[in-house]
């Protein structure tokens, strides 16, 4: 098993935060802009949760990556820059937070390019991409390569980085998984329905520590996905802090920004290369 990409560490942790703000709700329908309570629930993320998380990262001296939709960066000028100033990475998370699987390829391309224009105008370097809701199409990775980005972080084909071939060249995939997403643990709204279970932060902390132990055993990438409007709330922020403290105390875990892991993975000659193509789905067996 080749693990040059992780160096001497037993596991690498990428703390990633999807700074979605209002976008995932507006993507369900612009009528929700009129729901004051719902919009305030989402605005809590950039307004309260994000500063709390940035302070937490400063206290613990660990780097992170923040996936920011272009709409959020455009409507909150200075937000992306404030993240970079703290030593963290800002990455592409669509413009509108509409999942690629809900769009035509032209719509997906336009949404992708519009985000890059926003960040270019703000002087923010973009190296990686994450699809909204992790709902990439088979064309998405090709867009990432075509626009010169290094990595994607939307797929689930491994628990270590891997090479992903596309028609526009090869990129690095930094895989994700639902078990390492705070949305599955904490997200709740009566309308639109985004989740219906609010778990105890104590349970979430236990689950993430157990997963990290497994990844230390198998020398994997612990790619945590958290959202400031969820994990930025007080009890959950403390659980996140305790997780980071646990990982640091292990002594064999390295924290890194996604772009740094992707660069190490791209330079690793032994990194696995996974095929990227849709399975054959016979319409006589699998009707639409």
Residue 206, domain CATH: 3.20.20.370
Over residues 140-171, the pLDDT tens digits come to 999 999 999 999 999 999 999 999 999 999 99
Over residues 29-47, the pLDDT tens digits come to 999 999 999 999 999 999 9
Return the pLDDT at 183: 97
Alpha helices, DSSP H, located in 17-168: 23-26, 36-44, 50-60, 70-75, 79-85, 105-121, 140-146
**Residue 61 within any structural domain of the chain:** yes
Average pLDDT over residues 115-127: 98
Return the pLDDT at 166: 97
pLDDT band at 187 (very low <50, low <70, confident <90, very high): very high
Average pLDDT over residues 52-79: 98
Close Cβ partners of 21 (under 8 Å, ≥ 6 residues apart): 42, 43, 45, 46, 69, 72, 75, 76, 229
**Residue 280 within any structural domain of the chain:** no
**Residue 233 within any structural domain of the chain:** yes
pLDDT band at 208 (very low <50, low <70, confident <90, very high): very high
Return the pLDDT at 288: 84
pTM summary value: 0.97
pLDDT at 3 over 90: no
**Residue 183 within any structural domain of the chain:** yes
**Residue 161 within any structural domain of the chain:** yes
**Residue 251 within any structural domain of the chain:** yes
Could you list the residue range(s) of the whole structural domain that residue 187 is in? 8-266
Strand partners, 175: none
Q: Give the total number of structural domains in the chain.
A: 1
Average pLDDT over residues 186-198: 94
pLDDT at 85 over 70: yes
pLDDT band at 267 (very low <50, low <70, confident <90, very high): very high
Q: Which is nearest to 236 in space by CA: 41, 53, 109, 110?
A: 53
**Residue 271 within any structural domain of the chain:** no
Mean pLDDT of the chain: 97
SS3 49: helix
pLDDT at 15 over 80: yes
Over residues 221-264, the pLDDT tens digits come to 999 999 999 999 999 999 999 999 999 999 999 999 999 999 99
DSSP state of 232: T
**Residue 20 within any structural domain of the chain:** yes
Average pLDDT over residues 127-137: 98
């Amino acid at each position: 098993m080749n693990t040059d990409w992780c160096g001497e560490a037993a596991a690498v942790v990428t703390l990633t935060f999807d700074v979605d703000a209002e976008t995932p709700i507006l993507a369900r329908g612009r009528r929700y802009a009129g729901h004051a309570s719902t919009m305030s629930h989402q605005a809590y993320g950039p307004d309260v949760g994000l500063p709390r998380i940035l302070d937490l990262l400063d206290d613990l001296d660990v780097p992170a990556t923040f996936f920011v939709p272009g709409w959020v960066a455009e409507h909150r000028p200075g937000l992306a820059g404030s993240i970079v100033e703290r030593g963290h990475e800002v990455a592409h998370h669509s413009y509108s937070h509409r999942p690629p699987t809900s769009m035509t390829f032209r719509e997906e391309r336009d949404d992708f390019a519009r985000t890059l224009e926003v960040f270019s105008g703000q002087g923010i370097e973009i190296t990686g991409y994450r699809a909204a809701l992790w709902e990439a199409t088979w064309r998405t990775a090709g867009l990432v390569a075509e626009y010169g980005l290094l990595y994607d972080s939307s797929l689930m084909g491994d628990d270590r980085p891997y090479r992903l071939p596309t028609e526009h060249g090869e990129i690095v995939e930094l895989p994700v998984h639902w078990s390492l997403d705070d949305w599955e643990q904490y997200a709740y709204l009566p309308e639109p329905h985004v989740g219906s279970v609010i778990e105890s932060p104590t349970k979430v902390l236990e689950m993430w520590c157990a997963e990290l132990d497994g990844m230390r055993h198998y020398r994997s990438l612990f790619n945590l996905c958290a959202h400031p409007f969820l994990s930025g709330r007080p009890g959950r922020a403390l659980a996140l802090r305790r997780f980071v403290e646990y990982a640091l105390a292990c002594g064999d875990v390295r924290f890194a920004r996604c772009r740094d892991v992707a660069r190490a993975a791209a330079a690793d000659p032994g990194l696995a290369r996974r095929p990227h193509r849709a399975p054959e789905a016979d319409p006589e067996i699998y009707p639409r």
